[in-house]
A and B are shown apart, each in its own frame.
Chain A
Amino acid sequence: MEKQASQTTPLVQVKDLCKYFQISRRDILKAVDHVTFDIMRGETVGLVGESGCGKSTTGRCITQLHPPTSGEVYYEGQLVDVSSRQKRLAFCKKVQMIFQNPYASLNGRMTVKEIVGEGMRLHFSYSEKELDERVEELLNRVGLSKEHMSRFPHEFSGGQRQRIGIARALSVSPEFVVCDEPISALDVSIQAQVINMLKRLQRDFGLTYLFIAHDLSVIRYISDRVVVMYLGSVVETGETEELFAHPLHPYTQSLLSAIPVADPDVAQANQRIALKGEIPSPINLKPGCRFADRCPRAQERCRKEDPQLQDMGGGHWVSCHLAGER
């Protein structure tokens, strides 16, 4: 009975998560607005959207780097609570994060051993020798070696730094890792090395990922399910194959058609759905669908009523008034 429960309860549940930033007395920036989704154990959920859509803020709220304005995050069915040091430590032991910028996310005054070993010292009572062994093992895992232990971050290239960041995240043997654009700062030929490594580590350690990216090809390649965000709210979510084959929201459709395909015949034949205008500012939003101003199919109703996420069957949810009718 208990076992079954753990299979059906999602590992992470995000419910009505909101994060508002008060940027002046009058203006409120709604970075994340009523976002709800689940992450099952062992799967990879891709969170995709353009810059400023709130995807990183969502990730940071889940790891409690930002305290949410309202809404809840449940981990293994329990409300996440980091109100005391002890509780925070227990949470950090299970949930870790890989950051976007490998140049800014490593402390330049710490050696690799200190960076990777810092979490272990906090969580485990290893002897110095055990710590050395563990760090070495982790570095080997991410394709670095023992010699790198006493070096400083500035001695490494971007790809190697990202590996150090990954080793640091894995040092406390977490269950769930939030990867916030882990490859977008890297060169093309290095990106594949890191993607392959993340996939291998997931298989070996049974990790669950929330993978945040703006690159749809990468998202499709790595994720089991995809959540598409626009201006702070979820517009569409579904199984990867289903969502890429049958996007229902006009925003997802135009996003998919805008991807530059690395194939001249396809790329030149590809008729993209032109989006007018640019992403509006998330400060003091108008009521109605957030996408209405750029939507090729927007109607009167879209500018008045907020659409809600509706179930289209097969785990495919869309937040669009026109989703049912085609």
Chain B
Amino acid sequence: MENSQKPEEILLDINNLTFSFHTYGGVVKAVRGVSFQVKKGEIVGIVGESGCGKSVTAQCILKLNPEPPGFFEDGSIRYKGEEIVTKSDREMRKIRGMEIGFIFQDPMTSLNPTMRVGKQIEEVFVGRPEVSKAEAKRRAIEMLKLVGISDAERRYSQYPHELSGGMKQRVMIARALVGKPGIIIADEPTTSLDVTIEAQILDLLKQLQKELGTSIIFITHDLGVIAKLCDRVLVMYGGKVMERGSVRDIFYRTGHPYTHGLMHSVPRLDISKDTELEPIEGTPPDLFAPPAGCPFAARCEYAMKVCYEAQPPEFPLEEGHASACWLKHPDAPPVEWADGGKGGEA
């Protein structure tokens, strides 16, 4: 497939997604009104800390969250114009794997240890009489080769425990790709891998995205990975989108104190050792009783009275760049944090 830019086609349209879980302690509001779109062939990154709702958001798209205890409170997810929220499990099976692929976080536990690797890749074709057994096997082996597994024919009939961590993650990617889905959701696919293997997997994903024109939703807590791979980024916190924009918007024209804090709390290779890191003090909010105002207010050094009282809407900053922060309100006092991201190099 060539990389020609057709008029941008919206594959996935998520609107005001709200998803909660019933637990013994009450209702946990994991995702609170998240909206975003994924266009054909782009890589969207979702970044945030643990418990910010990024994984739940991703799993909602394939309805992988157990219901109950989980339930959709509100919102819609449209894939190629079709509503997903109301689909039955049977209908979802047609979408999973064939239309939308999913790469799980932990390759060590997400493969079935009692099943040969090849069979797990072929599982996508179960219940599809139009794909013959021989065809399924051919495509599985082709995928194994594509993701860079040498000796694919032999690996096809091995069990997961015979493969290393990086290799298992490649199998997971092959499994997500074999149905030639329009979108792949990758939920922290490299978190449990070593840096050199992580770099290989990231290169592989980027290359596959170019060759096959697949869109990718990439979930991670690592800003370095986001910078390397993504076209557009959502920053999530406390179940809400704090900031959205292109990678360059997020990194060079940071529009939200949380994004700023996140960037400055990791040691970077080019900072001097004498500069103190600027940690974000405090801990993430309790989602049993989410705060009435901005979820970040309690940890935000710029917080004003209004931040505790009302949730900020998203204020548009530039084309495609928006920040849910009261500081961006036209009447807000002008606040300049240290250097607006970390500009300069741009």
Interface residues, chain A, CB within 8 Å of chain B? Answer: 50-51, 157, 159, 187-193, 195-196, 199, 214, 216-218, 220-222, 240, 244, 254-255, 257-268, 270, 272, 274-275, 278-279
Contacts and interface: CB of A to CB of B under 8 A. Distances in A.
Given A191-B265, A260-B224, A262-B251, 10 more contacts: A188-B266, A192-B280, A193-B279, A258-B196, A260-B227, A264-B247, A270-B228, A274-B200, A278-B166, A278-B167
B8 interface: no
A272 B267 contact: no
Given A196-B279, A260-B228, A278 B49 contact: no
B197 interface: yes
- The winner among B167, B194, B198, B251 for most chain A CB atoms within 10 A is B194
Contacts of A220: 267, 269, 273
Contacts of B164: 278-279
Contacts of B345: 263, 265-266
B227 A262 contact: yes
A261 B279 contact: no
Contacts, number: 135
The list of the 9 closest CB pairs from A to B, nearest first, reads A260-B224, A192-B279, A221-B267, A192-B265, A262-B223, A50-B194, A258-B199, A189-B280, A193-B279
Contact of B279 (A190, A262, A264, A267): A190
Most buried by B among A159, A218, A260: A260
B268 interface: yes
Contact of A261 (B221, B269, B277, B283): B269
B67 interface: no
Nearest to B224: A260
Interface in B190-218: 194-200, 202-203
A188 B191 CA distance: 13
27 contacts: A187-B50, A188-B266, A189-B49, A190-B279, A191-B266, A191-B279, A192-B279, A192-B280, A195-B277, A196-B276, A214-B194, A216-B195, A221-B273, A221-B277, A255-B196, A257-B199, A258-B195, A259-B224, A259-B269, A260-B202, A261-B227, A261-B228, A261-B269, A262-B226, A264-B252, A268-B228, A279-B164
Contacts of A265: 248, 345-346
Contacts of A254: 196
Contact of A278 (B197, B248, B263, B284): B197
Given A196-B276, A196-B277, A254-B196, A262 B263 contact: yes
A263 B342 CA distance: 9
A188 B265 contact: yes
Contact of A260 (B198, B283, B342, B346): B198
A218 B194 contact: no
B225 interface: yes
Nearest to B192: A51
Interface of B: 49-50, 164, 166-167, 194-200, 202-203, 221-228, 247-248, 251-252, 261-269, 271, 273, 276-281, 283-284, 342, 345-346
Contacts of A157: 283
A259 B262 CA distance: 18
Contacts of B197: 278
Nearest to B248: A264
B80 to A, nearest CB: 29
Contacts of B196: 50, 254-255, 258, 275
B277 A264 contact: no
A244 B269 CA distance: 9
A50 B198 CA distance: 11
A255 B195 contact: yes
Contacts of B262: 188-189
Contacts of B166: 278
Contacts of A260: 195, 198-199, 202, 222, 224-225, 227-228
Nearest to B281: A193
Nearest to A251: B196
A250 to B, nearest CB: 12
A1 to B, nearest CB: 34
A196 B224 CA distance: 21
Contacts of B277: 192, 195-196, 221
A104 to B, nearest CB: 17
A287 to B, nearest CB: 22
A191 B50 CA distance: 13
A257 to B, nearest CB: 8
Nearest to A197: B279
Contacts of B200: 274-275
Nearest to A199: B276
A214 B223 CA distance: 17
Interface hub of A159, A189, A217 (most chain B Cβ within 10 A): A189
B280 A262 contact: no
A267 B250 CA distance: 14
A256 to B, nearest CB: 8
Contacts of A199: 276
A208 to B, nearest CB: 17
A154 to B, nearest CB: 14
A217 B199 contact: no
A263 B265 contact: no
A126 B283 CA distance: 35
A217 B266 contact: yes
B96 to A, nearest CB: 29
B315 to A, nearest CB: 23
A157 B267 CA distance: 22
Contacts of A275: 196, 199-200
A214 B193 CA distance: 11
Contacts of B280: 189, 192
B240 to A, nearest CB: 16
B245 to A, nearest CB: 12
B17 to A, nearest CB: 23
A187 B195 CA distance: 18
Contacts of A279: 164, 194
A93 to B, nearest CB: 30
